[in-house]
Structure 1
Amino acid sequence: MKMKRMLGCSAVFSMVVVSNMAMAYDFNTQTKNATSYTKQANEQVYKELDFGNKTAFTDADRGFIAPLLNNGDIDGVFSATGMNYMQDKKAPDSVNPSLWRHAQLVNRGGLYKVSDHIYQVRGQDLSNLTIIETDKGMVFYDVEYSGKALKASIDLYEKNRGKRALVGVIISHSHADHFGGFEGIYAAGLATPEDVKSGKLPVIAPEGFVEEAVSENVMAGNIMARRAGYQYGNVLKVNEKGIVTGALGPALANDKSSLPIPNKYITKDGETVKIDGVDFVFYLVPHTEAPSEMVMFIPKWNALSMAEDVNHLQHNIYTLRGAQIRDAAAWAKYINQTLGRWGDKVEVQFGPHTWPAWGNKNVVEYLKTQRDAYQSLYDTTLRYANYGYGPDEIAENAKLPKSVFNNWDNRPYYGNTKNNLKSTYIRNLGWYDGNAAKLAAYPDAERGQRYVEAFGGEQKVLDAALKSFNKGDYRFTTELLNNIVASNPKNQKAVLLMADALEQLGYQEETALNRNWYLAGAQELRAGGNVPNNLSTTSPEVIAGLPGDMLMPYLGMTIDQIKAEKVGNHVINLNLAGEKPYSIDLHNGVFNTLGDFSAKNADVSLDIAKPDLLAFLAGKTSLDDLVKGGKAKVSGDTKVLNTLPGLFDLSIKNNMNLVLPLQPENRIR
């Protein structure tokens, strides 16, 4: 059935000048209560979904052994106590009741028994720590985002199950909340960096893990960490007008992550690895929830983990923090293949997020329902696209089967259905919908300036926006005001009213990430920008630990090409300690590198270790001091090397505005 093509806005807007209305509105920086429109919208949710079904609560509590240590609180990093404020309470007016229900399920934590030999610590970070007990030791399956959180999870397990030797680590995919806490293994005394480097401790990951982890968490790590702080609500207060849940888990620990380098990669489907008497069978599922991802089956116990491809929620096809758009069709295909391989055997399905499913019948139905969601998103998008509808029209108006999308396991707590439809369109057809007018669109600031002028000035736009706000049309309020804010952020009335509109949109949202974005955007507007953020995936330790083949592109990304252009063209032979040689061709300001190669006519050659190279390029030490200290060796024109400090920005600020215009130091210059 075709959608009726939308003509213009869904509501007719008549422009009326009501400047006295703006005078009556209380413009201030305080958080607001839910309006009557928001209360009505949230109350309607109770009529649309089956809140009488309590099966998920029974499953989420199954196998409970002990609560988190210190109630899950880690100073400056994580507050599980704070994130449990919604337990046994009715949803307040400022939270969508469906999201509140999910928060009650996922925000509880402790040590749980999944089945004989398999245990999980849930609720200490965004991800679970799964401990698989083998003949003489244990295997960790994914290791959370924060090293401090992982250490607390290990302590809880050991307190209740005793100490065991760590005989292996399996990392399911290339997202930081599954590997970033690796340093906690060292802190717990379970292994040393040399154990990993030598292969004494097997660290297993899917093919392409390091490349994809670096691409996402290092090359784009600064902006992604900034956006993640908004997405996961780390910049918000923990209360009913702030963060409710991270959806996949209570919240992302407010910490920096590490980047382990695995010593064993799964490169083919069906590859079996025996660890301490237990066979683990792996299948690769690339470009589903992550570009590099794998699922596994443990035949000995008929235990399946679908990594992050199966959760008790609808996941992202595109994540708002920024990443490659995922393939919904491939996602559904791999779940379906899993049903074909192990559907008649599986007895338990556990993952790094949410809670497990038990019993063959329940697990199979769970997998089928999740499969149907991703296949439906793909098929629906492409069907409507072939009628000629664009991504926005499809996202707003597509008809989807209620038996799939009203199922609690497919509700949009993490991935938003509209966003997923739109993203599937963009993955397959790109951002352009065929309307030539889109090719001529101005960026926000220039468009806003022209809209305001066409309206007849900022006051008329503000009056129209306030009228829209008072009708409960917060989306259009935001759209109108963004024209003023983008072109003149000094208009405080526009800024504060836009914050109030975003806040009401957040209160109504069922998707945790959208709620967090709306509320974080409101906070940025009220604070005037520069919202603090402690998340980081690009610490100096991570950068110094990159293999040379990944460090070279990172340096190329951080170089200021305009400054580099002025120092002239140079060829440098670089010999990094313990790495193959590299030839650097700094040409027209562009940093070009060739690995396993030394140029015959290089201007200069430099022998140095990676940490010392980074310190030199950052201007923290001089080349003379490095040479005198025996940490560097130079042959050729030393002056060429001394032109390099100041060209590389190795400490990009992580405070950029995302709603207000960028601060001067963050703008293109």
Structure 2
Amino acid sequence: MHRATSRAFPLVFFMLGLPGISQAEDSAWYKFTAETKGATSFTSEANKAVYQQLDFNDKVAFEDSRRGLVAPLSNSGNIDGGVFDAEGMNFMQNKQAPDSVNPSLWRMAQLVNYGGLFKVTDHIYQVRGQDLSNLTIIETKTGVVYFDVEYSPKSLAKSVALYEQYRGKKPLRGVIISHSHADHFGGIDGVYEAGLAKPEDFKTGKIPLVAPEGFLEEAIAENVTAGNIMARRAGYQYGNVLKPGERGIITGSLGPALANDKSGLPIPNKVITKDGQKVTIDGVDFVFYLAPHSEAPAEMVMYIPQWKALSMAEDVNHLEHNIYTLRGAQTRDASVWAKYIGEAVARWGGEVEVNFGPHTWPVWGNKNVREYLKNQRDLYQSLYDTTLRYANYGYRPDDISENAQLPKSVFNQWDNRPYYGHTRNNLKSTYIRNLGWYSGNAAELAKYPDAERGRRYVEAMGGVQKVLDAALGSFQKGDYRFTVDLLNNVVAYDGTNQQVNFLMADALEQLGYQEENSLYRNWYLGAAVELRQGGNVKNDLNTSSPEVIAALPPEHFVNYLGMLVDQIKAEKAGNATINLNLTGGTKFGLDLHNGVLNRTSNLQAKNPDATLDISQADLLAFASGKSTVEELVNAGKAKITGDRTAVDKLSGIFALDLRNDMNLVLPLQSENRVK
């Protein structure tokens, strides 16, 4: 049976009474403190058992992950300003796993945290270990093409400098972005820092910037429209709120860690719209096939025929990936994912000699690449087929995720282990993608929100102290999942009880120590940090900075502003129709109606209340309250034709005061709530 890493105990033991501690007993045996704790005996035993489940004598991955090393990362890979601590992320090399880390995850960290400049094959090099993703440098006739450009501009500049130190400075002939996730395109501004290009080079098409169809729309949807909450959740998912160490972040599994930086947003000038589309850049043919709704909503794979080199983008990695990512995104289609990999085997399996990707290390040799692809294909097809088969018997999402039987020949392979995607989460997410969140149990329709539900549970159980006593008993038995479940009833509506918070943090910590999955580990430990700190944990990640918003294409910019309208304030402001003419010629029709700012592109009202001519930057300044309509008009930066009071109704209705340090476990504080 497929089981979660941590032990699960039935609720009945609580109902029958807990051995070892009664509700009336003094709980002085337990120290409620804010300090992190070591592994308990339960955690230590759980992690030791992993050695009996997997073949740790298999060292092939260690040889492959070190193959082709040209040079280690410069400055040990560290980037000043807290951007990247590569040295801190490599403390585990050549050491045995401690009790506070699942030994399988420790092994993965030893593999993927190892960084430097590597030769993949003639003409293809990679810098790995400088960010969560790799920079792949493809040497063309007279220059280089970059395939994915990491998350951080500072990381990219460091990777470029390392490559140029050993391979020489070569002109940039093109950039290829495989898909719409920020860790693959966010470092684009690093090419400017490295002096390889100017923004105009991409705007004019002088340097091709190639991306799949739908890239820009999906990148903006994730990283700008929903960017604030995603960046916040990403800080927990990738362990950016943790320190490297045995009790902190170990690895990001796809790479050592996500650089602690703000990202940029590239605007493609060459879009791949059909399968088999060939783009020739500086004498090298790149053949692309679209793979939408696999690992990303907009994604493509790439083949270089003259070198028999394949990149399956992020559709294949040396791990099980996410069907649903905890940072928040569209749920992916495991069946479609498997299909794309199967098509790659059919299309190139007879000739391909190397597969390289934007994460983890390459695979060499036709036989090895073909088997690697087939095994990854089997992984995602198994997740899909198993989920739907169990669902058709009437099993609910949680039943399937905890108890589904899965083939060991697939899931016990090192390349398919759940370091990044969690098997339990993937099964549940596949159910939800195909059948939605509702399991068919009508009780779910009547369920209260967490705060109200928690308040009622605590009252029914006899008060906070009885919940705390029951949780202590559960903790003492090593049942950390139930400990967290019990205490969350208190925390959901009242985050001020330090004893509850500290015990919940300690239980989450033990769950993290046992996890083979790096994201679950980081979430558990990050949640513990929030509980111990009392909330509002610092967050430096940002995919929707003012610079990014100001640089959005006009239609996406106006849609972003519309999303941020405080509709209660707007409702009080009243209705208005405004024709908006942005500098540069883009026209919009704005209809503020019933508190909703409706917008149409290039379709304007024949008889608007007012017409506003303004630049995008000045409109942003007005929306954010940095400039008033009067100031902009007087400075000649805005022109209003018609009823000026109609434009005045837009003043103060935009909620641009978003914070990115909101609580994710403790209740939201008043300044974080929607006003």
TM-score bracket, normalised by the shorter chain, equals: over 0.9
Which residue matches 1:29?
A: 34
Which residue matches 1:592?
A: 598
Question: 1:471, CA displacement in angstroms?
Answer: 0.2
1:540 to 2:546 alignment:
yes
Match of 2:494 among 488, 498, 519: 488
1:664 to 2:666 alignment:
no
So what's the TM-score if we normalise by structure 1? 0.98
Question: 1:404, CA displacement in angstroms?
Answer: 0.5
Which residue matches 2:572?
A: 566
Which residue matches 2:515?
A: 509
8 Å contact 2:618–2:637 — kept in the other structure? yes
Match of 2:72 among 67, 75, 80: 67
Which residue identity lines up with residue 636 of structure 2 in the other structure? G
In structure 1, the gaps of 5 or more residues are: none
Is the deviation greater in 525-534 or in 578-587? 578-587
Match of 1:612 among 611, 614, 618: 618
Q: Tell me which stretches of 4 or more aligned residues in structure 1 moved more than 4 Å.
A: none
Match of 1:167 among 169, 173, 176: 173
1:298 to 2:300 alignment:
no
Which residue matches 1:451?
A: 457
Aligned-partner Cα distance in 2 for 1:304–1:431: 37
1:219 to 2:220 alignment:
no
Which residue matches 1:575?
A: 581
Which residue matches 1:12?
A: 13
8 Å contact 1:618–1:645 — kept in the other structure? no
Which residue matches 2:151?
A: 145
8 Å contact 1:83–1:238 — kept in the other structure? yes
Listed as ranges, the matches of 1:162-201 within 5 Å are 162-201=168-207
Secondary structure at 2:28 match in 1 = helix
Give CA-to-partner distance per residue, 1:384-427, whole Å, 9 cap, x none: 00110000000000010001100000000000000000000000
Is the deviation greater in 541-550 or in 464-473? 541-550
Which residue identity lines up with residue 571 of structure 1 in the other structure? T
Give CA-to-partner distance per residue, 1:136-187, whole Å, 9 cap, x none: 1110000000001000000001111001110010000000000000000111
Secondary structure at 1:212 match in 2 = helix
Which residue identity lines up with residue 112 of structure 1 in the other structure? F
Match of 1:276 among 265, 279, 282: 282
Secondary structure at 1:375 match in 2 = helix
8 Å contact 1:167–1:275 — kept in the other structure? yes
Give CA-to-partner distance per residue, 1:479-510, whole Å, 9 cap, x none: 00111111222222111110100000000000
Question: 1:645, CA displacement in angstroms?
Answer: 2.8
Question: 1:609, CA displacement in angstroms?
Answer: 1.2
Question: 1:568, CA displacement in angstroms?
Answer: 0.6
Aligned-partner Cα distance in 2 for 1:19–1:299: 74
1:523 to 2:549 alignment:
no
Aligned-partner Cα distance in 2 for 1:259–1:578: 20
Change (3 A) 1:11 1:160: farther
Match of 2:442 among 436, 439, 451: 436
Listed as ranges, the matches of 1:314-333 within 5 Å are 314-333=320-339
8 Å contact 1:394–1:421 — kept in the other structure? yes
Aligned-partner Cα distance in 1 for 2:622–2:241: 34
Which residue identity lines up with residue 17 of structure 2 in the other structure? M
Which residue identity lines up with residue 114 of structure 2 in the other structure? R
Aligned-partner Cα distance in 1 for 2:560–2:239: 28
Aligned-partner Cα distance in 2 for 1:625–1:181: 36
Which residue identity lines up with residue 13 of structure 2 in the other structure? V
8 Å contact 1:236–1:519 — kept in the other structure? yes
Question: 1:545, CA displacement in angstroms?
Answer: 1.2
Give CA-to-partner distance per residue, 1:120-141, whole Å, 9 cap, x none: 0000000000000000111000
1:557 to 2:563 alignment:
yes
CA RMSD of aligned residues (A): 1.4
Question: 1:541, CA displacement in angstroms?
Answer: 1.1
Aligned-partner Cα distance in 2 for 1:8–1:241: 25
1:47 to 2:52 alignment:
yes
Aligned-partner Cα distance in 2 for 1:480–1:546: 45
Change (3 A) 1:202 1:2: closer
8 Å contact 2:126–2:135 — kept in the other structure? yes
8 Å contact 1:21–1:466 — kept in the other structure? no
Percentage of pairs with the same residue: 69
1:97 to 2:97 alignment:
no
Which residue matches 2:208?
A: 202
So what's the TM-score if we normalise by structure 2? 0.97
Question: 1:8, CA displacement in angstroms?
Answer: 9.7
Match of 2:340 among 334, 347, 360: 334
Give CA-to-partner distance per residue, 1:64-103, whole Å, 9 cap, x none: 0011111111112111111111100000110000000000
Listed as ranges, the matches of 1:349-360 within 5 Å are 349-360=355-366
In structure 2, the gaps of 5 or more residues are: none
Secondary structure at 1:24 match in 2 = coil
1:260 to 2:266 alignment:
yes
8 Å contact 1:94–1:241 — kept in the other structure? yes
Aligned-partner Cα distance in 2 for 1:628–1:487: 50
8 Å contact 2:9–2:479 — kept in the other structure? no
Secondary structure at 1:543 match in 2 = helix
Question: 1:2, CA displacement in angstroms?
Answer: 13
Question: 1:21, CA displacement in angstroms?
Answer: 4.3
Number of aligned positions between the proteins: 666
Question: 1:616, CA displacement in angstroms?
Answer: 1.1
Which residue matches 1:155?
A: 161
